[in-house]
């Protein structure tokens, strides 16, 4: 399956790419499928059945909200986030839903939105089935799977997912193939990634869209630094970024640039983004929502503490290089393992984001392809086995802090790689395969179900 960098970096809403963005996309796709079949106007009722991980942590991850918005025809990248709560209340209080924004039907939440906590669809842990009825007759039924990072496949597409592809001029299925192609053509990883992106859009469009991705990331940092209060969901988690920002802003320029103080700023950037994510704000899936703070924090570190126009050139070009490099690394994980915590635990989210960020940072600091690959390998190697056990099924504890650790680890990984010559014992492909195998061996209770780990032990502490 050929992947564009814009499938790994998508503008959306929090708190979860798999459990919020994906279900919204799937519900919207169901409505579009109904329309294409010319059955929308005949529909009098719909049912949505959520299975496995979608059901177990769905309430905490806003899956119910996402399904309702998708049925309205809303898209994660364009929905006005400040209108979501009112729209949800209107549906639930009036027990009516304007399907695709165009056809009103009855909708009773407890009857029509069903959570099957003890049942998994065989294809994937994040499965949902949508049904449309004309009175008591079933018009149309289709299952969809949220496979990580906001990617959604219908049951038909899932069965043929390896055949769904845009032909890329420089296809690579492994890290070694990526490195060989770059060496053969004398390209950096970012340059090869750009050549492939041209199969989807022209170079200037790629650059403009990637710069826009960064500006949305930057805006989520800015907004997160100026919000306060408790995050939604019942855990009463207090936002910390605003207070931390006020304290750090009191520093002199000299104090701000001292070693450990820089790490405080990096942590702040990650906290700000993931508090926005937890509050269901506008963020960039990178490559997931639960890990959305890692890459923005590392780019912000580069922009604010490293970039020198005289030495490094135009910032826009550097950000594009960072995201193209990070995207190429993310594609390897997406193709050969997973970026879904429901499949492989948090190593597939924070671990992948850390690996991508380390590679991007090494690239914009002048690293060779070998050093970049080494940085990516370090980023994942030291996240192997990381579980996903969100307390209360919310993307808050330990998820928000975990982004700060992923960002700091990415910076260290890039620095270690740049101190060497690119030679290392464990290749990136071996780490990716190890991550995949570890995910298979990991007990399901540690894979985004909130049935193990911190999710059950924190209350006893």
Residues in CB range of 431: below 8 A, 6 or more apart? 377, 380, 381, 384
Least confident of 40-44, 152-156, 406-410: 152-156
pTM strictly above 0.85 = yes
Residue 1 belongs to some domain of the structure: no
Shared domain for 215 and 351, answered yes or no, is yes
Shared domain for 154 and 251, answered yes or no, is no
Query: Which of the listed residues 112, 134, 159 is the one where a domain comes to its end?
Result: 159
* 303: DSSP letter: I
Quick check: 403 and 270 in contact, CB under 8 A? Answer: yes
Core vs surface per residue 230-253: b (16+ CB within 10 A) or e: ebbbebebebbbbebbeebeeeee
Q: Residue 244 is encoded by which pair of tokens?
A: 């931390």
What's the CA gap between 20 and 221, in Å, rounded? 20
Residue 286 belongs to some domain of the structure: yes
| Residues 39, 45, 46, 47, Cα dihedral to 10° | -150
Shared domain for 308 and 255, answered yes or no, is yes
Residue 165 belongs to some domain of the structure: no
- Tally of domains within the chain: 2
Does the pLDDT at position 141 exceed 60? Answer: yes
Between these two residues, 166 and 113, which has the higher pLDDT value?
113
Shared domain for 138 and 214, answered yes or no, is no
The domain containing residue 232 runs over which residues? 175-457
**pLDDT at residue 120 in the model:** 93
Q: What is the pLDDT of residues 271-289, one digit of tens each?
A: 999 999 999 999 999 999 9
Residue 7 belongs to some domain of the structure: no
**pLDDT at residue 461 in the model:** 42
Average pLDDT (419-429) is: 96
Does the pLDDT at position 193 exceed 60? Answer: yes
**pLDDT at residue 361 in the model:** 98
Average pLDDT (10-33) is: 94
**pLDDT at residue 2 in the model:** 66
Shared domain for 371 and 395, answered yes or no, is yes
Shared domain for 283 and 144, answered yes or no, is no
Query: Which of the listed residues 159, 188, 203 is the one where a domain comes to its end?
Result: 159
Shared domain for 411 and 315, answered yes or no, is yes
Shared domain for 341 and 302, answered yes or no, is yes
Q: Residue 63 is encoded by which pair of tokens?
A: 């899956």
Residue 3 belongs to some domain of the structure: no
CATH number at residue 83: 3.30.1330.90
Shared domain for 97 and 229, answered yes or no, is no
**For the chain, how long is the longest CA-to-CA vector?**
71
Shared domain for 229 and 284, answered yes or no, is yes
Shared domain for 201 and 98, answered yes or no, is no
What's the CA gap between 194 and 181, in Å, rounded? 13
Residue 113's DSSP bridge partners are: 48
Measure Cα distances from 342 to 17, 291, 432 in Å: 11, 14, 17
Shared domain for 122 and 217, answered yes or no, is no
């Amino acid at each position: 399956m050929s992947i564009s960098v814009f499938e790994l970096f998508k503008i959306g809403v929090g708190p979860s790419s798999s459990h919020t963005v994906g279900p919204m996309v799937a519900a919207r796709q169901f409505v579009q499928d109904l329309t294409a079949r010319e059955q929308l106007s005949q529909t009098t009722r719909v049912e949505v059945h959520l299975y496995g991980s979608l059901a177990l942590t769905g309430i905490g991850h806003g899956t119910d909200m996402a399904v309702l918005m998708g049925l309205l025809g809303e898209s994660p990248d364009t929905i006005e986030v400040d209108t979501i709560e009112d729209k949800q209340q209107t549906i639930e209080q009036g027990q009516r839903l304007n399907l695709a924004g165009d056809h009103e039907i009855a909708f009773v939440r407890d009857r029509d939105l069903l959570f099957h906590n003890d049942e998994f669809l065989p294809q994937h842990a994040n499965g949902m089935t949508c049904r449309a009825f004309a009175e008591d007759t079933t018009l149309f039924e289709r299952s969809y799977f949220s496979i990580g990072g906001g990617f959604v496949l219908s049951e038909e597409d899932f069965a043929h997912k390896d055949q769904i592809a845009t032909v890329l001029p420089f296809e690579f299925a492994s890290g070694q193939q990526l490195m060989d192609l770059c060496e053969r053509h004398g390209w950096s990883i970012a340059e090869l990634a750009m050549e492939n992106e041209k199969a989807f859009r022209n170079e200037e469009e790629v650059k403009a869209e990637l710069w826009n991705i960064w500006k949305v990331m930057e805006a989520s940092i800015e907004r997160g630094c100026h919000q306060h209060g408790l995050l939604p969901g019942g855990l009463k988690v207090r936002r910390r970024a605003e207070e931390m920002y006020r304290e750090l802003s009191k520093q002199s320029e000299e104090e701000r640039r001292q070693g450990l103080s820089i790490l405080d700023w990096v942590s702040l950037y990650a906290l700000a983004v993931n508090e926005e994510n937890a509050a269901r704000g506008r963020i960039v899936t990178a490559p997931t929502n639960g890990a959305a703070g890692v890459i923005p924090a590392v780019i912000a570190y580069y922009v604010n503490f490293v970039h020198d126009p005289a030495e490094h050139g135009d910032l826009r070009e550097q950000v594009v290089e960072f995201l193209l490099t990070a995207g190429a690394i993310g594609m390897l994980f997406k193709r050969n393992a997973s970026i879904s915590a429901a499949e492989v635990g948090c190593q597939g989210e924070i671990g992948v984001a850390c690996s991508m960020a380390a590679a991007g940072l090494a690239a914009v600091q002048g690293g060779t392809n070998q050093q970049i690959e080494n940085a990516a390998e370090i980023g994942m190697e030291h996240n192997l086995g990381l579980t996903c056990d969100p307390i209360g099924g919310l993307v808050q504890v330990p998820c928000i802090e975990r982004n700060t650790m992923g960002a700091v680890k990415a910076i260290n990984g890039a620095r270690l790689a740049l101190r060497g010559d690119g030679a290392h014992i464990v290749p990136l492909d071996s780490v990716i395969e190890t991550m995949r195998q570890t995910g298979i061996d990991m007990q399901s209770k540690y894979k985004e179900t909130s049935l193990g780990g911190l999710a059950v032990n924190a209350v006893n502490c």
